[in-house]
């Protein structure tokens, strides 16, 4: 059964299920969408992604959620809160992936803002983070549009390579994300 977590003007964010495989594979298996990730996901990685998020829901009551268009019921990506190692510490991170043909329509920002509001209302976190490669201009714009601020760029080794990453912070629990 699908559990709805957040509803916005145009979107529903709900827990992922195994039934979401095809739609998520269209996102996570797309080389353009995943160009800033260490790897494009194959079928096995997408299934692991779904199962890892189902496990996160059980452990934390949050994870990455399916992003679904209200109007059509179509799954267009994922967005949510996960615990990630950022700069050597485990921190709550907002992440998002939106299918290529649905990018630049404000869906990522709308989902990220809703997750920020949800996290400040439903978790004890006082600060939220997002991090991405410094070359990921789309993710950076989405974070800024969602109310986050650049606080640090730092080297991060992935597969033996040193990539510079940006850390974005959103402060002020209880303040709507537009004001973060």
Q: Answer yes or no: are the C-beta atoms of 92 and 128 closer than 8 Å.
A: yes
CA distances from 68 to 15, 114, 162, 163 (A): 10, 13, 35, 32
Tokens 């964010």 sit at which residue? 13
Which pLDDT score is estimated for 29?
97
Q: Domains of the chain: which residue ranges? A: 4-179
pTM of the model: 0.88
> Could you list the mean pLDDT of each consecutive 10-residue stretch along the chain, which spans 180 residues?
91 98 98 92 98 97 98 98 87 95 97 95 90 84 88 64 51 38
Which pLDDT score is estimated for 163?
46
CA distances from 7 to 43, 111, 168 (A): 29, 9, 24
CATH topology of domain 4-179: Aminopeptidase (3.40.630)
- pLDDT tens-place string over residues 6-59: 999 999 999 999 999 999 999 999 999 999 888 999 999 999 999 999 999 999
Backbone φ/ψ region at 106: left (φ over 0), alpha (ψ -120 to 50), beta: left
Q: How many CA atoms lie within 13 A of 61 on its CB side?
A: 6
């Amino acid at each position: 059964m699908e559990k709805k977590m957040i509803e916005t003007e145009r979107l529903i964010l709900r827990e992922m299920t195994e039934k979401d495989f095809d739609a998520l594979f269209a996102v996570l298996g797309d080389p353009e969408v995943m160009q800033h990730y260490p790897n494009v996901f194959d079928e096995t990685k997408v299934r692991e992604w779904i199962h890892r998020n189902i496990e996160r829901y059980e452990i934390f009551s949050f994870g990455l959620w399916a992003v679904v268009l209200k109007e059509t019921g179509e799954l267009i990506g994922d967005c949510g809160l996960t615990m990630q190692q950022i700069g050597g510490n485990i921190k709550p991170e907002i992440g998002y992936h939106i299918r290529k043909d649905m990018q630049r329509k404000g869906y990522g920002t709308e989902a990220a803002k809703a997750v920020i509001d949800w996290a400040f209302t439903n978790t004890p976190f006082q600060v939220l983070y997002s991090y991405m490669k410094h070359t990921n201009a789309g993710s950076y714009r989405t974070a800024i549009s969602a109310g986050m601020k650049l606080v640090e760029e730092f080297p991060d080794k992935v597969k033996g390579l040193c990539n510079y990453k940006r850390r974005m912070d959103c402060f002020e629990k209880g303040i709507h994300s537009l004001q973060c």
